[in-house]
Structure 1
């Protein structure tokens, strides 16, 4: 079966979506399908990677100042060339990743070509637009695109029960929950960790308005009162980075560092040596159903996570004993950071085993490939 995978992000670009879609392409190929990926040319700092088992077609797109394909102009620079390629590319089935503009364009092409579409819902963009107080016209447009993509899709893959509930509310009918995860081949304990002269916490990943990563900077003055040697290191990119830099310069000028986007192997080294890996989601914005991928990466590297917030991510950490949870306040976060510095670090072997058994993207990709294959067989019966 010829499968076309539509995604603006793909390996070797350093992003959770890129890792997730590569795992899916690998799973589809392992299941015997002929896979073509329609994606973007990665930024220069992403490096290179070969994909001998399937075809990856790329073209240049517009990126914002941070190097992200983020914003409607940037999305359009991918979506319209993608539509033209998808119209002529041989395909038995199409799989689309968000944003909803991409999903809607792919759905439109599939409607014209009478091909089945599957939508990989890693999150809900309509809810994200509400959470960041986007203008009403932006919300209406994004909401309409998302509903069209979900309703036109033959099937929707949801990364959690919370996401599944939301996509059903938006009109999806055939939904399969396959938990998210991390590439355990790249994120694993590393003995050769960085050796700074002070204990540190690491925040690895996207920093946007939704994440509220500033709570950790605001906690640092309290932490430094007891542990003046402690450091906080951010790795990744996002719209919140400029504000975080300004805040860090005001509150903890010598204790917070920003390392930018780094390759997975380097990120794994920093996570492996950290006192704790940090993740957060601002509560009460309608996004509490999301599960932070950073928690999976921490476990895979044998490092306890500290999650600030409520909802699905907090439950994930508490139910599986993956670290600590704090209320989303600087005081509560600081107390848990201090507890991590004062206490003995738990054995990492159990965390690594949990990630291998419950959060491996390789397994995720195979499960999705099998579900799509079986679902299409049911259609032909």
Structure 2
């Protein structure tokens, strides 16, 4: 086992965590506080603080010893140029689906032919049969009830229905609930799991969270080396073994974090296909062993999904959720040939929160999922 002492760097001018929400601590310890995401020098530039009854659309609550958590009603504004860059790259990543859907409504008549073409476009975008049929039925009903006569009105109606479908996925990753907060990270080979862990570790640090990483992928030396590089880059502790039981590595990491008072533990696991039943059983074992190291842990079980895998992504969600009980998803690689419709399939079939989406290799390319931005990128 090797370890490097973690330091907590100061928050940079901009962070990917855009939203905050009150979450009371469930264990004794310091009272939590929720900072705003992007640091803004002038207080008046930050969003107004809501009352305790208000709930933000998404949140990250961070524990520090000063005050109780304060919910913020809406995200603080990011630098305009950086925000425009993010949105333009998101739209570019989803352009394949966007161009197919939007061209359907150009000069179109509202008839059966339009609905058939829309059905084909949604299926090709990986929305799946169930979500496609749901959207078509709801759209036809809306067109009839509201007496829509223009193709542009129908497109706007489709945007509203899609937004209603995806909004429940827009939920917070809440920090500060436990000391430490233990996160188990899973996914198939090539989904971008280890890279995502490194990005998350960096951004957790920007919110004054100390982090320890557990190199639980003991099957691949390259995976341990990759996680160690991220640990060195972020100056965080990495718990690893040359060989051995990944569950033991996870247990050691939790014990180390408890002893040092570390805020967050992220446990990397070996990438595997859900059809590899013996490896899925090993994931269950890791989860059980983590629970022995700390009651109620792991507190978050995340699945990293490659956005280019289409309907196979939905199969992964079902399999890993059945095996582990997922609490959140991270969708990566939306900057490639991703079609985007799979989020609709997930929302209809297995609505597990999508904490983050990624569109590139840089740290700032991993952002909280925002349903409105996503729908705008698809249908504007």
Q: TM-score, length-normalised on structure 1?
A: 0.31
Point out which structure has higher relative CO (alpha carbons under 8 A, 6+ apart).
2
